[in-house]
Structure 1
Amino acid sequence: MAAIDGQVPSDAQEITTGQANRVWYVDAPVPYVLKHYGDRARAANEAAALALLTQHNGPAPRLLGADPNGRPAWTAQSAVHAEPTPTDRLLDELDGPLAAVHCIPGQHVGRLAAAPRHRTWRDYLHNRLDTYTAAAPDLAQVAAALHRNLDALDVDTEPRLLHHDLQPGHLVRPFNGQPLLLDWELATLGDPLSDLARLAVRLDLTNPADVLQLAHRPPAAASRRIHLYWRIHQLADAALGTDPLVRQLARDRLS
């Protein structure tokens, strides 16, 4: 087998699905998926997340190679022959994989790579709120209220691995084997309830507590915490969403 170097073989099959990255299936003696990134930081973060998941035998593709500093940045991941989990089965089938992910401990808070590390989960969230305020100054009052709500809650926790982009399409059912989670570019170390809040936003739920059934050993004040995180994720979409429809929907929710 030729060494994986990030170059696209002439017989590779492009399987890009419309996101900012380009993705190919490479039918080598050991098939793999090659991913080229528009953002080096996301490449570094996904590579670090997949390396951690590989170390813990987590429910994700295996990292076969990576160069976040390449031109372009790239990762190579084990090929997964699978179909997306139907939306009406998502919560049931997500339970096991998510519990396995949320058991993986971290050594710091925040993104795994190519981003500042934070002393506490609260510090990380305050930093995110400042980022959203800078991107959307007209939402400063919403962010200020969330800053106050954050300080009123005990949210600090031992950091655990979060996928942080849970949505239909990212959980797949291989034809042989257990369900796997794909696309780890936004993986973070922090409070698992934030993962569930992000999922509630992506499922357009009006009550994020509807996904608390997926919480592994939910902490005290879990309902208040997940509602706070739910609002923070809505603010993230409203301030930084690249899809105009997603951005407007988030703004409507916040109002």
Structure 2
Amino acid sequence: MNDIDGRVPPSAREITTGQANRVWSVDGPTPYILKHYGDPSRAANEAAALRLLATHDAPAPQLLAAYRYNTPPWTAQTALHANPVPADRYLEDLAEPLAAIHRIPGTHFGRLAGARQHRSWSNYLHNRLHTYATAAPTLRATALLLHQEVEAGEDSIQPVLLHHDLRPGHLLREPAGSRLLIDWELATFGDKHSDLGRLAVRLDLDDPTPVLALAARSDPTTESRIHLYWHIHLLADAALSTDPVVRERASVRLPRRR
């Protein structure tokens, strides 16, 4: 794949769907997906995640080439002959590939590359909550409540790989029936239940109960952790989203001091 240099070929077809990056489908002897990133740390993180996933034969695209120091930074990934899983089958079809991802052990807590690594899961969560409270001072009281919940919770979590951006459109089904997860730029090492809390936010649920079906076991401890992570990811949206509708929708679901 020496001919891939990050530039967009004239025949490329843009398939961008998000706001932060631009994506093209490139035809040729070996078709591929070219992705340009607005944030070099996300480019580095996705490349690191795809390399790790390849070593575990995990359900994801293969990384063909990458360069984070270009302007813009980019990755090239295998083109997939697959379609998004229908919404009414999403949770059922997600179970197997997600379990495979969560079996991959981590080496630290936090993003795989391009960001600070943390010594514990609670340290990572406290850092994220501080970031959200700094970005949105009006939400500091909510952030403090969540800080207290993190402090009171379990701190013996062993890190595993998280996708951390699960949503419809990021799970594909190949003609042979295999399911693949795409868009790994937010991949993180941490508690697998955090993936479920974030999924509940991305599915726009009023509570995370439906995603409990994806938990390996469901007991009061599991449910309380997923609720905590759901609230943390809601706080992230309320503090950092550039879409006022998303910010408001997240804000009204946040816990309030009694």
| Corresponding residue for residue 132 of structure 1 | 132
Tell me how far apart the structure 2 counterparts of residues 111 and 45 of structure 1 sit (CA, whole Å). 7
| Corresponding residue for residue 96 of structure 2 | 96
| Corresponding residue for residue 115 of structure 1 | 115
Tell me how far apart the structure 2 counterparts of residues 102 and 120 of structure 1 sit (CA, whole Å). 17
1:142 aligns with 2:142: yes
- Look up the SS of the partner of 2:253 in the other structure: helix
* Partner deviation per Cα, 1:26-83 (whole Å, 9 max, x = no partner): 1121111000001111111111111111111111100111011111100000001211
| Corresponding residue for residue 167 of structure 2 | 167
- Look up the SS of the partner of 2:69 in the other structure: coil
Tell me how far apart the structure 1 counterparts of residues 186 and 86 of structure 2 sit (CA, whole Å). 23
Q: Give the aligned residue type for 1:55.
A: T
Contact 1:81/1:175 (CA < 8 Å) preserved in 2?
yes
- Look up the SS of the partner of 1:128 in the other structure: helix
Contact 2:120/2:155 (CA < 8 Å) preserved in 1?
no
Contact 2:109/2:124 (CA < 8 Å) preserved in 1?
yes
Identity %: 61
| Corresponding residue for residue 188 of structure 1 | 188
Structure 2 CA distance for partners of 1:101 and 1:219, relative to 1, 3 Å? farther
Structure 2 CA distance for partners of 1:179 and 1:204, relative to 1, 3 Å? same
* Partner deviation per Cα, 1:70-113 (whole Å, 9 max, x = no partner): 11100000001211111111000000000000001111110000
Tell me how far apart the structure 2 counterparts of residues 250 and 14 of structure 1 sit (CA, whole Å). 31
Contact 1:155/1:225 (CA < 8 Å) preserved in 2?
no
- Look up the SS of the partner of 1:221 in the other structure: helix
| Corresponding residue for residue 54 of structure 2 | 54
Deviates more, 1:78-87 or 1:149-158: 149-158
Contact 1:45/1:114 (CA < 8 Å) preserved in 2?
yes
Shift, 1:141, TM fit: 0.3
TM normalised by structure 1 equals 0.96
Unaligned runs of 5+ in 1: none
Tell me how far apart the structure 1 counterparts of residues 91 and 191 of structure 2 sit (CA, whole Å). 19
Contact 1:25/1:31 (CA < 8 Å) preserved in 2?
yes
Q: Give the aligned residue type for 1:127.
A: N
Deviates more, 1:118-127 or 1:67-76: 67-76
- Look up the SS of the partner of 2:24 in the other structure: strand
Q: Give the aligned residue type for 2:17.
A: T
Tell me how far apart the structure 2 counterparts of residues 15 and 95 of structure 1 sit (CA, whole Å). 27
Deviates more, 1:204-213 or 1:152-161: 204-213
Aligned residues: 255
1:39 aligns with 2:39: yes
1:68 aligns with 2:65: no
TM normalised by structure 2 equals 0.95
| Corresponding residue for residue 23 of structure 1 | 23
Shift, 1:175, TM fit: 2.2
Deviates more, 1:217-226 or 1:114-123: 217-226
Structure 2 CA distance for partners of 1:135 and 1:52, relative to 1, 3 Å? same
Tell me how far apart the structure 2 counterparts of residues 224 and 2 of structure 1 sit (CA, whole Å). 49
Structure 2 CA distance for partners of 1:233 and 1:18, relative to 1, 3 Å? closer
